Structure 1
């Protein structure tokens, strides 16, 4: 009887110790998450910043000096000197000490239509209004007194977000792009958004997101870059 009672006590003690260890581990991880959230919010002018440290246990990662995986989300931030929304970044092998250099990471941000429109207004002399539609990014212009929509496909070129002309709509009908006046073609083809990216960050793709809250979703890859730079890049 006494042996059985002692075994029960031992099991209970071990369970309490295990639970306590998990609690301590999670408290320590949360403290790091909070520190990184504050850092990103300050350096990247981020709002709605949420950082999650992956992997368990956390304390063994801390002792090793690198975190297996860190996920960063933000409602808004700066990316390459441009205001963006819906930031999502996943970094691997993140140093536990400041500036928390990430060995490799992927980044996705939404460049809103309003931001793209600002860039267009600064660089294009012909009045152009942008909209995100199912068949691509539409640049609305007036051609010989007729409203037309030049359909463009966003792409990345070096550290710039640029466009390729893929179609032309006049009165809602698709017509050949060969009918597009050269002056308009030159203006629309010249649309680009330069991004001030630090060493270690490169653009990898761009896709159109439709709707009033849409824009262009830009993806990037990073190597050996501080965590906060994944948002401020």
Structure 2
């Protein structure tokens, strides 16, 4: 009849098909995204375990202990394809170095996927007990170090004008690139039953500064950067640039004069 409205025949089904297509596309995108994330996580875990094994195999025979490796950064795949990991952390809370127990934490940046190449920068924080410190450093006179709050105490025996004199010294600590430096602050001298406060005469009876070289414990290219003393323990910070982490390089230690 004239004047009766006309209606489109298939508008609703088209909208439904278009809507279904959008939903399917979103599902595919989500599935792919989840797959990429799962692959990224799985590959990161595998790479961390593989790196831990290779690093452990590269350590000198004098170093023993388990190492955990964490590869930081958002996308493992992107870093891997670039050939360099932005930041890698190593934890070894029960490491021993030449029999000395050490709690070690290492942060490295610019770590190549090919471990035969050098690492951009590396910083290691090592925590040693008082006994461990005494097994590493030797104070003249075979003294024993006692660790206190940002200071050390040590005692021993010196010969002065033909007399054997026992001493007890409190010293502040600092570091150079290859040595821990003790600077005596207070001193007590004992000869027989006589006890003398020799703090005002330190220059006459002891060296002004006592460097304790530790280069022979460190791979070449690794330097001391900081030292914190707390009661019963010491925390050392080491740094290096362009460091090789193959077995030969890590086994080649520095030399003390």
The answer to whether TM tops 0.5 is yes
Unpaired runs of at least 5, structure 2? 1-15, 190-196
Is 1:83 paired with 2:92? no
CA RMSD of aligned residues (A): 3.5
Is 1:68 paired with 2:90? no
Structure-2 residue corresponding to 1:115: 132
1:200 CA drift (Å): 3.0
Is 1:159 paired with 2:170? no
Deviation track 1:36-56 (CA, whole Å, cap 9, x = no partner) reads 212333415342421111112
Structure with the larger RCO, 1 or 2 (CA within 8 Å, 6+ apart): 1
1:191 CA drift (Å): 4.6
Structure-1 residue corresponding to 2:5: none
Aligned pairs for 1:188-207 (under 5 A) are 189=210, 191-207=212-228
Q: How many residues align?
A: 222
Quickly say closer, same or farther: Cα 1:200–1:135, change in 2 above 3 A.
closer
- Normalising by structure 2, we get a TM-score of 0.70
Question: Is the Cα–Cα contact under 8 Å of residues 141 and 156 in structure 2 kept in the other structure?
Answer: no
1:93 CA drift (Å): 0.9
Aligned pairs for 1:200-215 (under 5 A) are 200-211=221-232, 214=233
- Normalising by structure 1, we get a TM-score of 0.77
Residues in 2 aligned to 1:225 and 1:59: alpha-carbon distance in whole angstroms: 24
Structure-2 residue corresponding to 1:97: 114
Residues in 2 aligned to 1:73 and 1:86: alpha-carbon distance in whole angstroms: 8
Deviation track 1:3-35 (CA, whole Å, cap 9, x = no partner) reads 222222221221111011011111111111112
Residues in 2 aligned to 1:119 and 1:221: alpha-carbon distance in whole angstroms: 19
Is 1:125 paired with 2:141? yes
Residues in 2 aligned to 1:202 and 1:135: alpha-carbon distance in whole angstroms: 20
Unpaired runs of at least 5, structure 1? none
Question: Is the Cα–Cα contact under 8 Å of residues 37 and 51 in structure 1 kept in the other structure?
Answer: yes
Residues in 2 aligned to 1:152 and 1:228: alpha-carbon distance in whole angstroms: 38
Quickly say closer, same or farther: Cα 1:135–1:147, change in 2 above 3 A.
farther
Residues in 2 aligned to 1:135 and 1:54: alpha-carbon distance in whole angstroms: 33
Quickly say closer, same or farther: Cα 1:206–1:231, change in 2 above 3 A.
farther
Deviation track 1:95-137 (CA, whole Å, cap 9, x = no partner) reads 10123521112221123322322245x66435x3322212512
1:190 CA drift (Å): 6.0
